[in-house]
Chain A
Amino acid sequence: MSTREKVGWGVGGLVIIVYCLFPVAWIVSLSFKSSDDIANGQFLPTVFSSENYQQILVGDAAGLFLPALVNSFGICLIATAISCLLSMFAAYAIARLDFPGKRIILSTALAVAIFPVISIVTPLFNLWRQIGLYNTWPGLIIPYLSLTLPISIWTLSAFFREIPWEMEQAAQVDGATPWQAFRKVIVPLAAPGVFTTAIIAFFLAWNDFVYGISLTSTEAARPVPAALGLFSGASQFESPNGPIAAAAVIVTIPVIVLVLLFQRRIVAGLTNGAVKG
Chain B
Amino acid sequence: MSQTLERPTGAVDPSATGGRGDKSKAERRLGWYLAGPAFVVMLLVTAYPIVQAVYDSLFDYRLTDPENSSFVGLGNYGVILTDSVWWIAFGVTAFITVVTVAVELVLGFGLALVMLQALRGLRPVLRTVILIPYAVITVVSAFAWQFAFSVDSGFVNSWFSWVPGVAADTDWFGTQGASLFVICLAEIWKTTPFISLLLLAGLAQVPDVLQEAAKVDGATWWQRLRKVTLPNMKAAIMVAVLFRTLDAFRVFDSVFVMTAGANNTETVSFLAYRQTIERVEIGLGSAVSVLLFLSVVLISALFIKGFKVDLSQARGE
Chain A residues close to B by CB (< 8 Å): 1, 5-6, 9-10, 12-13, 15-17, 19-21, 23-24, 26-27, 30, 33, 38-39, 41-43, 86-87, 89-90, 92-94, 96-102, 104-112, 114-127, 129, 142-143, 145-146, 149-150, 153-154, 157-158, 161, 165-166, 168-169, 178-179, 181-182, 186, 203, 206-207, 209-210, 213-214, 224-225, 228-229, 239, 241-242, 244-245, 248, 251-252, 255-256, 258-260, 263-264, 266-267, 270-277
From B45-53, B71-79, B97-105, give the one contacting chain A.
B45-53
Q: Is the CB of B313 within 8 A of A23?
A: no
Known: A13-B118, A90-B35, A122-B286. A267 touches B250 (CB 8 A): no
Chain B residue nearest in CB terms to A186: B2
Residues of the A chain whose Cβ atoms lie less than 8 Å from the Cβ of B315: 106-107, 110, 154
Q: Is the CB of B131 within 8 A of A267?
A: yes
Which secondary structure dominates chain A's binding surface?
A: helix
Closest chain B CB from A29 CB (angstroms): 9
Q: Is the CB of A274 within 8 A of B140?
A: no
Known: A114-B246, A146-B42. A20 touches B140 (CB 8 A): no
Chain B residue nearest in CB terms to A153: B38
Q: Is the CB of A258 within 8 A of B252?
A: no
Q: Is the CB of A96 within 8 A of B8?
A: yes
Q: Is B16 an interface residue (CB 8 A)?
A: no
Q: Is the CB of B35 within 8 A of A94?
A: yes
Closest chain A CB from B286 CB (angstroms): 5
Q: Is B132 an interface residue (CB 8 A)?
A: yes
Q: Is the CB of A97 within 8 A of B27?
A: yes
Q: Is B282 an interface residue (CB 8 A)?
A: yes
Q: Is B88 an interface residue (CB 8 A)?
A: no
Q: Is B135 an interface residue (CB 8 A)?
A: yes
Residues of the B chain whose Cβ atoms lie less than 8 Å from the Cβ of A186: 2
* Complex-state Cα separation, A99 to B36, whole angstroms: 12
Q: Is B147 an interface residue (CB 8 A)?
A: yes
Closest chain B CB from A220 CB (angstroms): 17
Residues of the A chain whose Cβ atoms lie less than 8 Å from the Cβ of B43: 108
Additional 12 contacts, C-beta under 8 A, given A122-B286, A270-B134: A12-B117, A17-B125, A23-B141, A38-B153, A98-B8, A105-B35, A114-B243, A118-B272, A123-B53, A225-B137, A263-B131, A275-B201
* Complex-state Cα separation, A15 to B113, whole angstroms: 13
Closest chain B CB from A166 CB (angstroms): 7
Residues of the B chain whose Cβ atoms lie less than 8 Å from the Cβ of A122: 49, 53, 56, 272, 276, 282, 285-286, 289
* Complex-state Cα separation, A102 to B315, whole angstroms: 11
**Size category, B interface:** 35 or more
Closest chain B CB from A25 CB (angstroms): 9
Q: Would you give 8 A-B contacts (Cβ < 8 Å), ordered by A?
A: A24-B136, A146-B46, A161-B316, A209-B252, A225-B138, A248-B139, A276-B313, A276-B316
Known: A119-B50, A149-B42. A41 touches B168 (CB 8 A): yes
* Complex-state Cα separation, A178 to B116, whole angstroms: 43
Residues of the A chain whose Cβ atoms lie less than 8 Å from the Cβ of B136: 23-24, 252, 255
Chain A residue nearest in CB terms to B282: A126
- Counting residue pairs across A and B whose Cβ atoms lie within 8 Å, the total is 351
Residues of the A chain whose Cβ atoms lie less than 8 Å from the Cβ of B252: 117-118, 209-210
Residues of the B chain whose Cβ atoms lie less than 8 Å from the Cβ of A99: 27-28, 30-32
Q: Is the CB of A101 within 8 A of B32?
A: yes
Residue of B7, B50, B137, B290 near A165 (CB, 8 A) is B7
Q: Is the CB of A116 within 8 A of B296?
A: yes
Q: Is B128 an interface residue (CB 8 A)?
A: yes
Q: Is the CB of B42 within 8 A of A150?
A: yes
* Complex-state Cα separation, A228 to B249, whole angstroms: 23
Q: Which of A93, A143, A145 has the most CB of B within 10 A?
A: A93
Q: Is B145 an interface residue (CB 8 A)?
A: yes
Q: Is B60 an interface residue (CB 8 A)?
A: no
Chain B residue nearest in CB terms to A42: B155
Q: Is B216 an interface residue (CB 8 A)?
A: no
Q: Is B143 an interface residue (CB 8 A)?
A: yes
Q: Name the interface residues of B24-72: CB closer than 8 Å to any CB of A.
A: 24, 27-28, 30-32, 34-35, 37-39, 41-43, 45-46, 48-50, 52-53, 56, 63
Q: Is the CB of A277 within 8 A of B46?
A: no
Closest chain B CB from A64 CB (angstroms): 15
Residues of the A chain whose Cβ atoms lie less than 8 Å from the Cβ of B28: 97, 99-101
Q: Is B311 an interface residue (CB 8 A)?
A: yes
Q: Which of A100, A116, A181 has the most CB of B within 10 A?
A: A116
Q: Is the CB of A16 within 8 A of B140?
A: no
* Complex-state Cα separation, A106 to B313, whole angstroms: 12
Q: Is B236 an interface residue (CB 8 A)?
A: yes
Q: Name the interface residues of B196-239: CB closer than 8 Å to any CB of A.
A: 197-198, 200-202, 205, 235-236, 239
Residues of the B chain whose Cβ atoms lie less than 8 Å from the Cβ of A13: 114-115, 118-119, 122, 125-126
* Complex-state Cα separation, A16 to B145, whole angstroms: 18
* Complex-state Cα separation, A114 to B197, whole angstroms: 19
Closest chain A CB from B141 CB (angstroms): 6
Q: Is the CB of B38 within 8 A of A87?
A: yes
* Complex-state Cα separation, A154 to B158, whole angstroms: 47
